[in-house]
Each structure stands twice: as structure tokens, then as C-alpha cells.
């Protein structure tokens, strides 16, 4: 199903030939992201992602965009805490030129001083934009509570101060340290033949320096009591995020965690959606989500609620969390959650782009490709009692972290602190 090759310089190539497709999605994954940055360079990985589109040794900024978009293709990139990806989707006949463009961007970027100085303003405005959006700002506050003083607890894009202080020399140094063959995975899915694609990659990247794997700062999880943080903002809706430490990305219980998330807040059939929105009308948006890193993770409930109903909403959320710890889940919920999870995986993998991201991210994170059959087998073995066991381990009051953004009153703060267990 999947094929893999490793070049002598340790660069990894993974492909999946998807029958009856006319497109190919290509991704170049770099095993470095926001948590690999020193404090004074916070935001460097994200900044570098922007700058690589400004031109390479072979292609100008305009050529990078026009030669891919001009044939009906799409071009993009993203940065996370643990990786950076440059990706494109094109009709299969345009694969050679598209790969050449992506590879030239990643391996031989110009990183011109003039563009770096100009892009600072763009990124600072991006930071300000997300700070002004309470549904995103509340997530920054929550990250800072779970991982205080750690790169994971700081904004991925950095701050106005760190971005302003970054130079083209700093970005070149970050590129030199992390963008090496050993840290690079090239993935392709769609109408692609593995050996032909390997030859394409060899021709462009076989001379790339192997480099060294770089380490990140490990998380020291020592939370022993609940925490709250409140940010007063004159808006029409209160935004809350309740988070607790979760599982790292290769934990043996990660699929149980996924089912717990689905049952509590993963879709419109979930307990929190039904109880908080449908039955009580306390929120428009209510959901749960997961974060998973090499050595830590997070389980989170987030909601946008009526300013007058923030205390009631949190009380109902806590009640539902306590209920699943005490009573577990019903057989119907359990069966539907399994079917939903496996159905979402299978639907996602029908698309060449999503499938490329699947095998590329898996190779970067675990140095192997997860097969759907393997996941189906693991999920089917999960027992209904596993949900309650994991809920009891994850959902603990001393591990609660509540962030709220909105026009919160002093009385509401006291009531929320009392609910969460924070002593005045």
C-alpha cells in the first residue's frame, strides 16, 4: 500500500499510488517547528516558512506561485510546534516541475534581508489579528497555563518583540541548523509511481547535507493544583477554554483518547453539544479537541457562551466531565464513537492531499507509516471500560486549567474559581 525509500544522506521518501486519480499531492516535511526555538528566536520556524516563498536560487517569488497556480495547482505551507510542511497539489503531468520548485524553496532559499525586514510587518499584523480574536487568544492563554515558560506555552508566531528583533542572519542560522536531509521527509500521493518519484528526488536532493538531528526542550509536567486566568475584553460573547494535560502522540492509549474526545465533544451527537447547547442553550459553539506532541499532550473543552451564562456553562461542563468519570459511557455511545472515528479516517484518506499529509506526518513523527488496517484492528480491540479508565486518569481537578476572555465580572471570577477549585 505504501512505499518508502531512504537515500544515503538519510532523506526519507514515502509514496502512495492512488488508483484512478489525476492529481498528485506533494509535501516536504521538515522535522522542526516552534518548540525548537530559543526564547529570543520565538517565531523563527513560522517566519522562515513565510520567507521561503520569497524566492530561491532558481525561482523568483512570482515564479514559485505562477508556475504552480498557473497550471491549476495549489500551493501552501504550515508550521506547527514540531514540524514545518511545504505542499502542493497539481495535475500529475506537472509533478517534475512542481517538485523542483518545492525542493528549491526548501533547500536553496535566498532569505533576502530586504524581504525579511518587509515580512516582519506582515507577521506582526498576523499576531495582532489573532490576539484580537478572542476565540484564538483564549487558546494562547491556555497554552501558557499548561506549559508555563516552555516554548509550547508561547505563541507559535512569536511576539512583536521577538519578530522585530529577528534578522536574516538568524533565519539563515535556523535554516542551516534544521533544514538538513536527516530532518526531511518527502511525501507524494496520487497518480505517482514510487521509483520514478525516487529518481526525481535523487536528482534534486541526493547532494543535500545529511546534517544532525536536533533536540527540543522536554516538558516538565509538575501541575499539582488547578489554575485560572481571566482576560477582560469588551465583547458580546465570553470565550472559555478548559484544558488538562493529555497524552503524547505515540501513547498506547491515544485511540482511547480519541474516542473519549468524540463522545464528549467531537461532533453534534456528543454529550457536551447536546447538554450545553441543545438542552440548555448556554452556548453557540461547544466542542472538545486534542493536542499531541512527542512528550506531552492536552485535552481541551472550548466554548463561546452568553456573557451572563459563563458560570452556568462551566458548571454544566464540569458536571458532564464528572459524570463520564463516574459512570463511563453507554454501549450505544461507544459503538457510535468507534464507527465515527474509523469512518472519518477512511473518508479523509480518499483525498490525495489528506492522504499525503497522513503518511508524511506519520513518517516525521514515528519514522513509520500507519496503515488503516492497523488502526482498525487497534480500535476494534478497545473495551468500553477503557473510556472510563482513561477519563479518570485525565480528568482530575488538580490538573484543570481554565482560561476566559470577555467582559467578566469580579463576581463571575470568584464563582468560576470556586467551581474549578482555585482558592482565593
Residue 166 sits in a domain whose CATH number is 3.30.830.10
Question: Same domain for 246 and 307?
Answer: yes
Pick the last residue of a domain from 151, 174, 205. Answer: 205
DSSP code string of 197-227? HHHHHHHHHTTS--------PPP-----S-E
Same domain as 70, residue 187 = yes
- pLDDT of res. 259: 98
23 with 89: CB under 8 angstroms? yes
pLDDT of residue 214: 80
pLDDT at 212: 87
Same domain, 265 and 393: yes
Q: Mind listing the pLDDT tens digit for each residue in 358-382?
A: 999 999 999 998 888 999 999 999 9
> Residue 222 domain-assigned?
no
336 lies in the same domain as 301:
yes
Q: Is residue 302 part of a domain?
A: yes
**pLDDT at residue 371, rounded to an integer:** 86
Statement: residue 221 has pLDDT above 90: no
Q: Return the closest-CA partner of residue 29 out of 292, 367, 298, 375.
A: 367
Of 170, 205, 240, which marks where a domain is finished? 205
The answer to whether residue 351 is domain-embedded is yes
Number of structural domains in the chain: 2
The stretch 236-244 carries a mean pLDDT of 96
H/E stretch holding 232: strand 227-232
pLDDT for position 383: 98
What mean pLDDT is predicted for residues 198-226? Answer: 91
Task: State pLDDT tens for residues 82-112.
Answer: 999 999 999 999 999 999 999 999 999 999 9
pLDDT reading at 229 higher than 80: yes
Q: Are residues 137 and 58 in the same domain?
A: yes
Distance from C-alpha of 421 to C-alpha of 133, rounded to nearest angstrom: 28
378 Cβ contact partners less than 8 Å away, ≥ 6 residues apart: 255
The pLDDT value given to residue 56: 96
Tell me the DSSP string of 84-114. EEEEEEEEGGGHHHHHHHHHHHHHSB---HH
Q: Does residue 218 lie in a domain region?
A: no
Is the same domain home to 316 and 183? no
268 and 166 share one domain: no
What average pLDDT does the segment 126-138 reach?
Answer: 95
Residue in 37, 49, 119, 350 annotated catalytic? 49
Would you say residue 50 lies in a domain?
yes
Helix (H) or strand (E) holding 153: none
Question: Mean pLDDT over all residues of the chain?
Answer: 96
pLDDT at 36 exceeding the cut of 90: yes
240 and 199 co-located in one domain: no
- Within a domain: 328: yes
> Rounded mean pLDDT of 189-217?
94
Copy the grid coordinates of residue 240. 472559555
185: left (phi over 0), alpha (psi -120 to 50) or beta: beta
**188 & 96 share domain:** yes
Q: What is the pLDDT of residue 222?
A: 82
| Residue 265 pLDDT exceeds 80 | yes
Confidence of residue 158 (pLDDT cuts 50, 70, 90): very high
Judge if 171 and 87 occupy the same domain: yes
The reply to whether 49 belongs to the active site is yes
Q: Is residue 217 part of a domain?
A: no
Residue 179, in any domain of the structure: yes
Q: For the segment 63-72, what is each residue's pLDDT rounded down to a tens digit? A: 999 999 999 9
Do 163 and 295 have their domain in common? no
**What would the mean pLDDT of 160-168 be, rounded to a whole number?**
96
Last-in-domain residue among 174, 205, 236? 205
Q: Are residues 46 and 110 in the same domain?
A: yes
Is it the case that residue 20 has pLDDT exceeding 90?
no
Query: Domain range for residue 301?
Result: 227-420
CA distance 198 to 377: 31
Q: At what angle do helices 310-327 and 384-394 cross, to 10 degrees?
A: 130
Query: Can you give the pLDDT at residue 317?
Result: 98
Mean pLDDT of 402-416: 97
List strands edge to edge, sheet with 74-79: 3-6, 12-17, 184-190, 23-30, 84-91, 74-79
Q: Kindly state the average pLDDT of the residues 8-30.
A: 96
Amino acid at each position: 500500500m505504501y512505499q518508502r525509500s531512504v537515500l544515503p544522506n538519510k532523506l526519507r521518501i514515502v509514496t502512495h499510488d492512488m488508483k484512478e486519480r489525476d492529481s498528485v499531492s506533494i509535501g516536504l516535511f521538515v522535522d522542526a517547528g516552534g518548540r525548537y526555538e530559543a526564547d529570543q528566536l520565538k517565531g523563527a520556524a513560522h517566519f522562515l516558512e513565510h520567507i521561503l516563498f520569497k524566492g530561491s536560487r532558481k525561482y523568483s517569488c512570482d515564479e514559485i506561485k505562477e508556475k504552480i497556480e498557473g497550471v491549476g495547482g495549489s500551493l501552501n505551507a504550515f508550521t506547527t510546534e514540531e514540524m514545518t510542511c511545504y505542499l502542493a497539489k497539481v495535475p500529475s503531468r506537472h509533478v517534475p516541475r512542481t517538485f523542483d520548485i518545492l525542493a528549491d524553496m526548501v533547500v536553496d532559499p535566498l532569505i533576502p534581508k530586504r524581504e525579511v525586514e518587509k515580512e516582519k510587518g506582515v507577521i506582526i499584523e498576523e499576531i495582532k489579528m489573532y490576539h484580537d480574536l478572542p476565540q484564538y487568544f483564549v487558546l494562547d492563554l491556555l497554552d501558557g497555563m499548561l506549559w508555563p515558560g516552555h516554548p509550547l506555552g508561547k505563541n507559535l508566531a512569536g511576539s512583536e518583540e521577538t519578530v522585530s528583533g529577528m534578522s536574516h542572519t538568524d533565519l539563515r542560522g535556523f535554516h542551516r541548523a534544521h533544514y538538513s536531509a536527516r530532518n526531511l521527509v518527502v511525501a507524494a500521493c496520487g497518480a505517482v509511481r514510487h521509483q520514478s518519484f525516487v529518481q526525481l528526488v535523487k536528482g534534486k536532493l541526493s547532494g543535500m547535507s545529511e546534517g544532525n538531528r536536533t533536540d527540543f526542550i522536554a516538558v516538565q509536567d509538575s501541575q499539582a493544583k488547578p489554575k485560572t486566568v481571566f482576560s477582560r475584553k469588551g465583547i458580546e460573547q465570553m470565550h472559555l477554554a478548559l484544558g488538562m494535560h493529555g497524552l503524547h502522540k505515540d501513547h498506547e492509549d491515544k485511540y482511547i483518547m480519541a474516542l473519549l474526545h468524540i463522545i464528549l465533544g467531537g461532533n453534534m451527537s456528543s454529550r457536551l453539544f447536546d447538554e450545553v447547547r441543545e438542552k440548555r442553550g448556554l452556548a453557540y459553539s461547544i466542542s472538545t479537541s486534542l493536542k499531541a506532541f512527542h512528550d506531552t499532550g492536552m485535552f481541551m473543552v472550548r466554548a463561546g457562551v452568553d456573557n451572563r451564562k459563563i458560570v452556568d456553562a462551566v458548571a454544566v461542563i464540569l458536571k458532564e466531565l464528572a459524570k463520564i468519570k463516574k459512570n463511563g459511557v453507554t454501549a450505544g455511545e461507544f459503538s457510535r464513537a468507534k464507527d465515527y472515528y474509523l469512518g472519518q479516517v477512511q473518508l479523509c484518506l480518499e483525498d490525495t492531499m489528506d492522504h499525503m499529509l497522513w503518511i508524511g506526518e506519520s513518517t516525521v513523527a514515528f519514522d513509520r507509516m500507519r496503515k488503516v488496517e492497523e488502526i482498525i484492528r487497534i480500535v476494534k480491540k478497545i473495551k468500553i471500560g477503557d473510556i472510563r479508565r482513561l477519563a479518570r486518569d485525565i480528568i482530575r481537578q488538580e490538573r484543570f486549567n481554565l482560561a476566559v476572555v470577555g467582559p467578566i465580572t469580579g463576581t463571575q471570577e470568584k464563582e468560576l474559581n470556586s467551581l474549578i477549585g482555585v482558592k482565593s
